[in-house]
Amino acid sequence: ETPEDLANKIYEMIDLNKNGRVKKGSNEVTKAAERGTAQFIILAEDVNPPELLAHIPLICAEKDIPFGYVPSQEFLAKAIGMPKDTSAASVAVMEITKGAQEKFHEVVEEIKGLKN
């Protein structure tokens, strides 16, 4: 389970990166990970069944793409500007805008710290 403060930093990074391109949905995110074109991948913890996204962290590890989790598909969808009452199980951030660089690096360093 992702610590609440880390999830909030991920949402903040998304907000700062509003003008950056994103891919959403497990198929698009999987392709972006396999191609190594994603800068960061965000997965929702409340996906059911969890096997839908289980392959993505493995690809990220292989391609050295940082990834993190947030608690809710609904909040993830809202954060990336999707219409109300929609959900996003996974999102690939394809570019990090200048305004989001600092928060991006902060999030990645915190995630690395959790894995050690």
CB within 8 Å of 8: residues ≥ 6 apart: none
Taking every pair of C-alpha atoms in the chain, what is the biggest distance, in angstroms?
Answer: 37
Q: Is the pLDDT of residue 29 over 90?
A: yes
pLDDT band per the 50, 70, 90 thresholds, residue 112: confident
Whose tokens are 């880390």? That residue is 6
In the predicted model, what is the mean pLDDT of residues 59-80?
Answer: 95
CATH architecture observed for domain 4-115: 2-Layer Sandwich (3.30)
Q: What share of the chain is helix, strand, coil (3-state, %, to 5)?
A: 50, 15, 35
Out of 75-79, 80-84, 98-102, 111-115, which region has the weakest mean confidence (pLDDT)? 111-115
Residue 26 phi, psi dihedral angles, 5° rounding = -65, -35
In the predicted model, what is the mean pLDDT of residues 7-27?
Answer: 92
Q: What's the start-to-end Cα distance of the chain, in Å?
A: 15
Cα separation, 113 vs 54, whole angstroms: 22
For residue range 36-69, what is the model confidence (pLDDT) as tens digits? 999 999 999 999 999 999 999 999 999 999 999 9
Cα separation, 51 vs 86, whole angstroms: 20
Cα separation, 75 vs 112, whole angstroms: 23
pLDDT band per the 50, 70, 90 thresholds, residue 116: low
Q: Is the pLDDT of residue 89 over 90?
A: yes
Contact, 58 vs 32, CB < 8 A?
no
Q: The whole model's pTM is what?
A: 0.92
